[in-house]
Amino acid sequence: MKINFSKYNGAGNDFIVIDDRGNKINNNSSLIEQLCNRNFGIGGDGLILIKESKSTDFEILHYTSDGNLGSLCGNGSRCGVLFAYKNKIIDKKTIFDAFDGIHKAEIVDDDLVKMEMKINSDIIENEYGIWVDTGSPHLVIEKDNADKLDVNLLGSSIRYNDYYKEEGVNVNFVEKITNESFKIRTYERGVESETLACGTGSTASAICMNYLGKSDSKNITMKCRGGDLKVEFNSKDDLFTNISITGPAKLVFEGQINL
């Protein structure tokens, strides 16, 4: 069986995107892992499937590159929204289903997508850093030397420690540049490596920096290695609402693969 696919990236976080409204893809973890393999497959940080939805315009299923069903992926979802727009599934504004419920999104221009985000937990400070679930679980750690960190070594040592090993956690290392901007590097579970950007991680980190008093801005640019992501929100008494993330999404290439 031959399947059409598209390769997208959101600030360097790259994904295979497939229109699976006809349910042709068998959600087989070994197949998905093979598709995401950078040596023997198409290659990507994950796979995004566009599915039918009875209540919204479409549903996004996100699989990590290890072949497992993942939680919300901000950059992957933004890529999925742009795919849906380019393939005339939606207009410039849309509502879609994802891992943590319904999200709104809009095409700002052909290479810029804005997406509504959520906080799905309390913000918790612990011995490792500050933890929050923004559709995926994130640990945020402040650092003064983000560019020099061995993110794979440090991130994996936390992700696989006794405290986080069972559930897993994404680990974000954040360095303040100005009141409105921070550098960020992220170790992602499921990919089990550093990625060039992370949407849910950038959202979590921007909110945590405001929560900790490191910034009083409600419009924060997170400078990922693959590009900038802008996080906006309202906050009052440590309650964060109207959260959104805006950043680049781009079609890299299209192709067909024989499954």
Active-site amino acid positions: 73, 198
What token pair was written down for 59? Answer: 């549903």
Secondary structure class of 78 (helix, strand, coil): helix
- Dihedral over Cα of 74, 79, 84, 85: its sign: positive
* b/e code 228-251 from CB counts within 10 Å (16+ = b): ebbbbbeeeeeebeebbbbbbbbb
Strand partners, 5: 255
DSSP 188-240: ETTTTEEES--HHHHHHHHHHHHHTTS---SEEEEEETTEEEEEEEEEETTEE
What token pair was written down for 157? Answer: 């040592």
- Please report where in the chains the tokens 């299209």 appear, as a residue: 254
CA distance 115 to 98: 12
Percentages helix, strand, coil for the chain (3-state, rounded to 5) are: 20, 45, 35
DSSP 127-189: SS-EEEESSSEEEEEE-S-GGG--HHHHHHHHHTSTTTTTT--EEEEEEEEETTEEEEEEEET
Does an H or E element contain 245, and which?
A: strand 239-248
